Amino acid sequence: MLNRRNFLSAAVGVAAVGALSACAKKDDSPAASTGADGKKAIVLGFSQVGSESGWRSANTDSVKASAKTAGVNLKFSDAQQKQENQISAIRSYITQKVDVIAFSPVVVTGWDAVLKEAKAAKIPVVLTDRSVETSDESLYVTLVGSDFTVEGERAAVLLEKVLATAGHKGAVKIAQLEGTTGAAPAIERAKGFKKVMDEKHAADWKIVASQTGDFTRAGGKQVMAAFLQAHPDINVVFAHNDDMAIGAIQSIEAAGKKPGKDILIVSIDGVKDGFVAMSEGKINAIAECNPLLGDQLMEVVKKVHAGETVERWIKTKEGDFTMDQAKAALPTRKY
């Protein structure tokens, strides 16, 4: 409980924050060094991948909002999909002696050196959203994020349903729009999808073209235009995210074909624009990947800072959606 004295010092703190935050700052960190309870606020350095997709914007908003609610002093930087930018952001957080570092690694490899520097500085590292490959598992505490292999499997199972609903007969010629090369969601979604395909559909499904669209709309559009030229018989698109599916839709329409009918489309994420395209009949099904990781991240950051043990992998709940559910679900979508 706040007694009057604490309340007054908290109020003075808030006023001071207000004055300080009036100065221009490079990041979004509140200048607060004390939380509402009068304790020193945890300083969290967060290196975001970039702003490549609707998923990423929702994830960034979630992290920022949850930090505020949790009274965590967030230092945020956007790496614009470049590993070297993430490495220098992490190095700068080490120099600033933040309490905890969190980051969403753009690709899986190449992190050991900087993670060792964080360990030497005794700053715990929490991975969010994407994982890393490392020879030393002690270099990070936990991962807060989805199981992308399962998402790939779910997308394949959704495609089975979509093909059945469409009454599709004959060969299934799939164009795969891959996420960023070397990124965990691109590697694992492809793997999960292929697993189901190889186990159950080796005879009738074939990936006839597969290339990265870097998780962006422009990438999806460009790659799909080239695919349609080289493989005019493509009848399915499996996109590793909604944004690339939306880009692909533009190229499919430009080629005079109907997305969702002539070419069936399954994607992953479930962002609002994906749901809009699905309610318009242009995306057939979406395996959801939840970007709202902020609250779970702040909870973990507090525990890690307090020296508590946390689970090695903290997952989120996700659902699957087909076209017939899109209209009803659209108004309740939070991102």
- Under the rule (CB under 6 A), what is the footprint of ligand GYE? 52-53, 55-56, 129-130, 185, 215, 241, 243, 268-269, 289
Percent helix, strand and coil across the chain, each to the nearest 5: 45, 20, 35
Instruction: Give how far the C-alpha of residue 191 lies from the chain's centroid of Cα atoms, to the nearest Å.
Output: 18
Q: For residues 117 and 320, which CB has a smaller minimum distance to ligand GYE in the complex? A: 320
Minimum Å gap between C-beta 21 and ligand GYE is 30
Q: For residues 43 and 293, which CB has a smaller minimum distance to ligand GYE in the complex? A: 293
Minimum Å gap between C-beta 108 and ligand GYE is 11
Instruction: Name the one residue in this structure whose structure tokens are 């070397």.
Output: 182
Cβ atoms < 10 Å from Cβ of 35: 16
Minimum Å gap between C-beta 244 and ligand GYE is 8
Report the alpha-carbon distance of residue 279 to residue 281 in Å, rounded.
5
Query: Beta strand pairing status for 43-48 and 73-78?
Result: parallel
Q: For residues 178 and 243, which CB has a smaller minimum distance to ligand GYE in the complex? A: 243
Minimum Å gap between C-beta 125 and ligand GYE is 17
Cβ contacts of residue 281 below 8 Å, gap of 6+? 260, 261, 323
Minimum Å gap between C-beta 220 and ligand GYE is 11
Q: For residues 205 and 215, which CB has a smaller minimum distance to ligand GYE in the complex? A: 215
Q: For residues 89 and 163, which CB has a smaller minimum distance to ligand GYE in the complex? A: 89
Tokens of 107: 């690709």
Q: For residues 124 and 213, which CB has a smaller minimum distance to ligand GYE in the complex? A: 213
Minimum Å gap between C-beta 54 and ligand GYE is 7
Q: Would you mind telling me the total number of residues written for the chain in this entry?
A: 335
Tokens of 264: 């069936």
Please, is 334 exposed, middle or buried when counting C-beta atoms within 10 Å of its C-beta (0-12, 13-18, 19+)? exposed
Residue 42 is classified by DSSP as: P
